[in-house]
Structure 1
Amino acid sequence: MAHTQISMYLPPDVNPTQAAIAYGCRALPKLNEELQSEDLLTRQKALMALCDLMHDPEHVYVAINIGCLESLKALLKDSNHMVRIKTTEVLCIMATHNVGRGSAGLTDLKFFQSCLSPDLQCPGVLACTCCGQRVKEGFLKHDIIAALSGLLNDPQTACRENLHLAFKHLAQLPSGALGIVSSGLVHSLVWKLQREEEKIQELLLDTLAACLLEGATEALNSRVVPFLKEKLLSGNDSIRSKAACTLIAVSIPLEGKKQVCQYDVIPILVHLLKDTVDEVQASAAGALMYATVTTEGKYAALDAEAIQPLLQLLSSPLRKARLNAIKALTMLAEAPEGRKILQVSVPTFRDLEMDASEAVQRAAQVAIKVIEWKP
C-alpha cells in the first residue's frame, strides 16, 4: 500500500557515475561549470553525462555556443587518465556530426531559417546542416586539433583511439582535413603508422587519405611511401585496402608518382590485384591508375605484368574495381607495348559498353579509342 514516507535510496534507474542533469536550458551550462570544478569526481561525472548528451546535435550546437569546447580543451591536459579518455570521447562524438547528415528532413522553410540563425538554438532533433558546420568551425576556431595532438603519445590506448577517431571524422570535410594539414600534424601521423596498434593504424590511414588530398608535400617529405609500402604487405585485409587507398592520394601529385616508382611499389600493387579481398583489388587498381600516368610508371607496370590481372578485374562485382582497372589499362595502352598486348581484348571492352554503370561505359569507350589508335 502506498504511503508518504520518502525512501533514502536513489531510484533504480539513476546512474551514480553521472552528474545529475539540470532541467531544460540549464542542463549544459551547469555541466560546463562542473567541467571546470577542482573536484575530480565532479569533473568525471560531468563528462559521463556530457557523453550521452552529445549524441543529440541540438545539444552539440548549444554546447559550442556556451563555451564547452574551451572547458574540454583544458581537460585534455588533466592528470587523471579517465578524465582525458572521457574528454576525447566527448570530442569524438561531437566530431561525428557531419554537414548535411539528416538534413533531408528539413522541409519547412521557417524551421530551416531558424536553424541558420546564430542567435537561436537549433530547435529540432534532426542533425541539421548548421550543426555539423558549426562543430567543424568550432574545432578550428578553438584550436582543438592542436590540443588533441598533445595526446598522440598518451599512455592510454583508449585516449589515443578516441583522438584518432575524432581526426578521422574531422578529415571527412575539406575544411577539417585542411585544418589538420595546416596544424603540421601530417608528419606525426605518418610516423605513428610504425608504432600504433592495428586498430589505430586503420584510423590513421583513413585520416591520411583525406588529408593528402588537401596537400601531400609534407607526407612525401616524411617518407610516407615506404611506410605505405610496408602496410601493403600487412596480413590485415583492412590495412592493406586502406594503405592502397592512401597511396591513391599520394600518387595524385607528380612527386608522389615518382616516389611510387622510386621505392618499387608498383610490383606490390600488381600482386595485390590478385588479392582474395575485392576491396583490396579495387584499391590497388586505383593506385596503379594514378601511378601509370607517367612513362616510368607505365613501363614499371608492364615489366610487372600488370595487364592480365587488370583484365581479370574487368569482371569484378565491384563497380569501382572495374572502373579503376579500365582506367589503369587505358594508361598502359598509351605505351606501344601495352597497346599491342591489349588489341585482342577489345571485345571485352565492347561488352563493358553495356555495363550498368555509365562511368564504366564511358571509361570502356575511351579505352577502346586508345587501344585502336594508330599513329
Structure 2
Amino acid sequence: MPPDLNADDYCLATHEAWQFAARQMRTEEMVLFVNTKDSEESYPYFRNERHLKYRVPPFIHPQAPSTVSAAFGNFMYSKLVRTLSSPMLIVRQRSVAWAVELLSVGENRARCVAAGFVPILAGMLREKDYFIRENLALCFKHLAEAGQAVCGLLCEMDVVKGLVNMVASQNKTLRKNAFEALEALAQMSHLVRFELVKEGTVLKFLLMVINDETDQWIRQTGLEVLSKCISGGNYNVQALEELLAVNSVPTAIRFIQSPWRNLQESACRFLCLLCMHNTGKTQAVECRAVEKLIHLLNDIEPRVQALACAALCCITIDIQGKKDFVMIKGIPIILKLLDLTDEQLCLFDIALLLNVAEYPVARKELFQDGLVALREIIKTSTSPLMKKRAKQGLQQLHFDHLPHQFPYDKMDKIYLRGTPKPTRSLQDSYPPTQSPSPPSKSPSYSTKPSTSSSPVSILKRPTSPGKRQ
C-alpha cells in the first residue's frame, strides 16, 4: 500500500516513500541521468553525461536540516562564483557567509581555490557593508591554510593592505576578524611578513591601534602579529628598529601586568623578541622590566613562567640586568625552578642561571645550592640537551672570573662613571731593560767599547759575555 504522507515523522515517511518506489520498480537501485548542459557547464567534475546511482539503505538516520549531501555540494562552488558577483546586496551577503562555511573545511577549501574564489574575494575588499567585510576577513583567515601559493597570490592582490585598513575600523568585530586573518597569514607565509615590514610604517600603525584598543583578545592577537613579523628571517632587524623607535618596550611591559593570562603570555613573547636587540635590552632595564617579570616566575601557569623566564634570559645579558636581578632577590627563584617536571621551563631557567652567574655576586649565591641541583639534573634527566646545559652551568659556577672581560668593578668605573679608558703604548707592554754590567778585567777582553757595535734593542735579549768569540 502507498505510504501515509500525512504522518508526523517526515523522515520516516520519506523513507517509506523510497521503499515503496523501489518495490514498484522491482529493484534496489534508481538511476538518475544528469545532463551538464542543464546543470553546471563550468564545473570540471561534470563535463560529460554521468549516471548517479542511489541505493536505498535498509535504515535511514534522521539528519539535521543544515546537512548538505556530497552530490549537492559538487554544484556549490561554481554557483558561489556567480552569486558572489551578484548585483543584489542580500545575495552577496549570504554568499560570503556560505563561503566562510565552505572554506573552514580543508577539502572544500581546495575546491574553492580551484573554482576561482581568490580573485573574487579579493575584489570584494571594496565593499562597504560591514556584514560582508566581517565575513570576508574570516574567508582570508581560512585561505591562509591553503598554502604558500595562495598566500603569495593574496599579497599580489593587495589583500594584506586591505586587512590593515580593516584594522582601523570602528567596528569591533571587524577589527577582531582582521587581526586574526593577519595572524594566520603571517604565521603561514614569509611573503606576508615581508609585505608588512617592507614599507616601514605598517608595524607602527598596528602598535598604535593595539595601544588604543580596549578588548583584551584583540590586543593579544595584535601582539602575536607583531611577534611573527619580528621573528621572521632576513628582515627582523628592520622590524625591530621600526618598533623600538616608537616605544614598544613600555607597551609590552604594560601588558605584562594585565590579569589576562593569554595577554601576559603574548606580551612576554613580544618583549623577549624585542630584547634580542641591544636597544631593547637597554630600554627594558630602564623601564624596570626585571622587577615586573620576576613576579611571573611564581605564576601557576607553566607557559607564563617559561615565557617570562625567556624574556629575562634576553634582558640579563645586559650587565645592569644581572645586577637588578640579584638586587630583587631572584636567585632563590632560579634554584626553585630547577625542576624536571617541565623540561621547557627548566631549560629556560638554566639559561637564565648561565647569564646571571656571570656576575660574581650572583655566582657566590648560586654556588652551593646550584651545584647540587645541576648535578641532580645530570644524574636523573633523560634529555641530552638538558644534561649539556646542566654541565655548562657547573662550569660557569666554578669560574673565578671571565677571561674575555674586565672585572665588574673596573667596568663600572670605565663605562658607567665615564672615566676614560687608559691607553698603553708598545713600550709599556715590556719591562724596562737594565744596561749590562761591565765585563771583568781579563787579558782576552778590552775595556773600551767597540765603535762598530750596534746598540742593543730593547726587544732582543743581549748575548751573554761567556758565549762571545
Report the TM range for the smaller structure's normalisation. Answer: 0.7 to 0.9
CA contact (8 A) 2:285 2:320 kept: yes
Cα deviation per residue 1:237-284 (whole Å; 9 max; x = unaligned)? Answer: 121122111111111122221211122211111122122322221111
1:254-333 equivalence runs, <5 A: 254-315=278-339, 317-333=341-357
Partners of 2:117 and 2:338 lie apart in 1 by 52
Cα deviation per residue 1:195-220 (whole Å; 9 max; x = unaligned)? Answer: 32011112112222221113222111
Partner of 1:335: 359
**One of 148, 151, 160 as aligned partner of 1:133:** 148
Instruction: Quote the offset at 1:2 in angstroms.
Output: 5.4
Sequence identity (%): 22
**One of 252, 257, 260 as aligned partner of 1:228:** 252
Report the more deviating stretch, 351-360 or 196-205. 351-360
Instruction: Quote the offset at 1:21 in angstroms.
Output: 11
1:53 matches 2:69: no
1:187 matches 2:198: no
1:177 matches 2:202: no
Partner of 1:68: 117
Partner of 1:347: 372
CA contact (8 A) 2:151 2:189 kept: no
Instruction: Quote the offset at 1:177 in angstroms.
Output: 2.9
Select the structure of larger CA radius of gyration. Answer: 2
Partners of 2:324 and 2:160 lie apart in 1 by 40
Partners of 1:92 and 1:137 lie apart in 2 by 14
**One of 394, 398, 415 as aligned partner of 1:368:** 394
Partners of 1:153 and 1:22 lie apart in 2 by 42
Q: Secondary structure at the match of 2:336?
A: helix
CA contact (8 A) 1:69 1:142 kept: no
Partners of 1:208 and 1:30 lie apart in 2 by 38
CA contact (8 A) 1:21 1:31 kept: no
Partners of 1:73 and 1:21 lie apart in 2 by 27
**Residue identity opposite 1:75 in structure 2:** M
Evaluate the alpha carbon distance shift between residue 170 and residue 359 of structure 1 in structure 2; reply closer, same or farther with a 3 A threshold.
farther
Partners of 2:90 and 2:3 lie apart in 1 by 36
Instruction: Quote the offset at 1:32 in angstroms.
Output: 2.4
Evaluate the alpha carbon distance shift between residue 40 and residue 21 of structure 1 in structure 2; reply closer, same or farther with a 3 A threshold.
farther
**Residue identity opposite 2:382 in structure 1:** A
CA contact (8 A) 1:21 1:27 kept: no
Q: Secondary structure at the match of 2:211?
A: coil
**One of 152, 158, 179 as aligned partner of 1:164:** 179
Structure 2: which 5+ residue stretches go unaligned?
6-13, 15-62, 402-469
Evaluate the alpha carbon distance shift between residue 190 and residue 289 of structure 1 in structure 2; reply closer, same or farther with a 3 A threshold.
same
**One of 130, 134, 141 as aligned partner of 1:85:** 134
Evaluate the alpha carbon distance shift between residue 59 and residue 142 of structure 1 in structure 2; reply closer, same or farther with a 3 A threshold.
farther
TM-score scaled by length of structure 1: 0.81
Evaluate the alpha carbon distance shift between residue 177 and residue 355 of structure 1 in structure 2; reply closer, same or farther with a 3 A threshold.
farther
Task: Say what the alpha-carbon RMSD is for the aligned residues.
Answer: 2.7
Instruction: Quote the offset at 1:171 in angstroms.
Output: 2.2
Greater per-residue helix proportion: 1
Evaluate the alpha carbon distance shift between residue 297 and residue 58 of structure 1 in structure 2; reply closer, same or farther with a 3 A threshold.
same
Report the more deviating stretch, 78-87 or 52-61. 52-61
Structure 1 segments (4+ residues) deviating >4 Å: 11-15, 20-26
TM-score scaled by length of structure 2: 0.65
Partners of 1:362 and 1:244 lie apart in 2 by 26
CA contact (8 A) 1:60 1:135 kept: no
CA contact (8 A) 2:203 2:243 kept: yes
Report the more deviating stretch, 216-225 or 298-307. 298-307
Partner of 2:225: 207
**Residue identity opposite 1:207 in structure 2:** V
Instruction: Quote the offset at 1:372 in angstroms.
Output: 0.9
Evaluate the alpha carbon distance shift between residue 301 and residue 160 of structure 1 in structure 2; reply closer, same or farther with a 3 A threshold.
same
CA contact (8 A) 1:273 1:285 kept: yes
1:240 matches 2:264: yes
Structure 1: which 5+ residue stretches go unaligned?
5-10, 98-130
Cα deviation per residue 1:327-364 (whole Å; 9 max; x = unaligned)? Answer: 01100111111211111121111111232333222211
Corresponding pairs, count: 333
Evaluate the alpha carbon distance shift between residue 198 and residue 279 of structure 1 in structure 2; reply closer, same or farther with a 3 A threshold.
same
Partner of 1:154: 169
